[in-house]
Amino acid sequence: MGGTVTLKAVLFDRDGTLVVDVPYNGDPQLVRPMDGAREALQKVRRAGLATGVVTNQSGVARGLLSVEQMHSVNQRVDELLGPFDVWEFCPHGPEDGCACRKPEPGMILEACNSLGISPEEAAFVGDIGADMEAAAAAGARAVLVPTEITRREEIEAAGSVAEDLGHAVELLLAGALDEQDAPV
């Protein structure tokens, strides 16, 4: 993991990582933070790191929610857990062949570009194998936080696995703080 490259940002998957996964959610009132999400994000921000959200939203391509509904849900996530420094979303379906949909690295690369950092200076926290694959393809660090939908083979393939969001942040900050002067 990372060597001497200083961590500058932690990017998060939205559904199943930051907020409880409600499939194809278009209703901001259904947004519920995952246990410990606020505290984990506060730790990242207190450490001086940027935060961002990187989310596949194939419900848009499938016609199950509108772009406006997706934005209203993202806005609610930002109200509850933000402010985030960067948001990246992919409205495409799996068959669209885009470069942004995870496991492709496009959104992570774009988020890093927006933040003015290299992918090696970022970490990505997600709940499924596609999240880990996208981070690896982008050259970012990755931590898997499994949920009940995470498959065993995804857990086995992940380089770094945390029991929850707080633990994922602890792992990342411990590595980051070893490589730079820790704020007191």
Residues annotated as catalytic (active site), given as ranges: 13, 15
Can you list the positions of beta strands (E) in the chain?
A: 9-12, 50-56, 86-90, 122-126, 141-144
Supply φ then ψ for residue 86, to 5 degrees: -155, 145
Question: Which residue matches tokens 């939908």?
Answer: 149
Question: Which residue matches tokens 């998957």?
Answer: 13
| Cα(125)–Cα(144) distance, integer angstroms | 6
Strand partners, 12: 53, 125
- Number of CB atoms found within 10 A of residue 183's CB: 8
